[in-house]
Chains A and B, each alone.
Chain A
Amino acid sequence: EPEVTQTPSHQVTQMGQEVILRCVPISNHLYFYWYRQILGQKVEFLVSFYNNEISEKSEIFDDQFSVERPDGSNFTLKIRSTKLEDSAMYFCASSEFALRDSSYEQYFGPGTRLTVT
């Protein structure tokens, strides 16, 4: 069964450093998403991406964040200068479609746990 993969599974970085989280969505999917989950809290939407551009972003997704689909298979989330409060699990998700009233689910990757020290 096709699946979303994410690397690394765990990343430890120092405050102020740049990190890049990588995702390989399911190959025929068109919509891509990043979510984050601070430990013990709910999952929060960060950004959605379609047709090589951001379709929506949340308030969390400020200028420190960027996304890219550099080669048609990878989907990356970059945090330019990490803060302590960026420590969280980051999930990538993809969906075949995002049509109104469709049952097309979002498939989640296993997550990358980011720890900022």
Chain B
Amino acid sequence: AQKITQTQPGMFVQEKEAVTLDCTYDTSDPSYGLFWYKQPSSGEMIFLIYQGSYDQQNATEGRYSLNFQKARKSANLVISASQLGDSAMYFCAMRDDNQGGKLIFGQGTELSVKP
């Protein structure tokens, strides 16, 4: 069965510094997609970045980059130059490509950016 694991319930980072949020996954399917979503205190789910299992290069979107290590089955999110507005819950998710494309989410990491 597919599984996503986020081992850091909470993280602190100083404003303007970089932070890495960990995510490991488990699947036997050779084709899958990995996503990161941000959930601020208001509750909405905001898409940040996507990495496909066959992508050769790590995905980047502005200050967000995904450190994809396929052999280790990890897809860590790196946020550079943290801002106060980055304080939120961050979820890693894997898309099940077998049927309908549902997302399987990890437990989330709560990031707090300190001024």
Check A35–B97 contact: CB distance below 8 A: no
Determine if B45 and A98 form an interchain contact, defined as CB atoms under 8 angstroms apart: no
CB contact under 8 A between A105 and B53, given known A42-B108, A55-B99, A56-B100: no
Q: From A31, A42, A110, A113, name the one whose CB has the most chain B CB atoms within 10 angstroms.
A: A42
Asked if A50 and B100 sit within 8 Å, CB to CB, the answer is yes
Q: Does A95 contact B (CB under 8 A)?
A: yes
B103 beta carbon closer than 8 Å to chain A = yes
B73-98 contacts to A (CB < 8 Å): 91, 93, 95, 97
Residues of A in contact, count (CB < 8 Å) = 28
User: Footprint of B on A, CB under 8 Å?
Assistant: 31, 33, 35, 41-45, 48, 50, 55-56, 89, 91, 93, 95, 98, 100-103, 105-108, 110-111, 113
- B-side interface size class: 20 to 34
Q: Can you sample 9 A-B contacts with CB below 8 Å?
A: A33-B100, A42-B91, A48-B101, A91-B45, A98-B95, A100-B31, A101-B97, A102-B33, A102-B52
A111's partner among B32, B37, B44 (CB-CB below 8 A) is B44
Residue of B nearest to A46 (CB): B102
Question: Across the interface, which residues of B come within 8 angstroms of A55, CB to CB?
Answer: 99-100
B91 touches A105 (CB 8 A): no
A103 near B52 with CB under 8 A, answer: yes
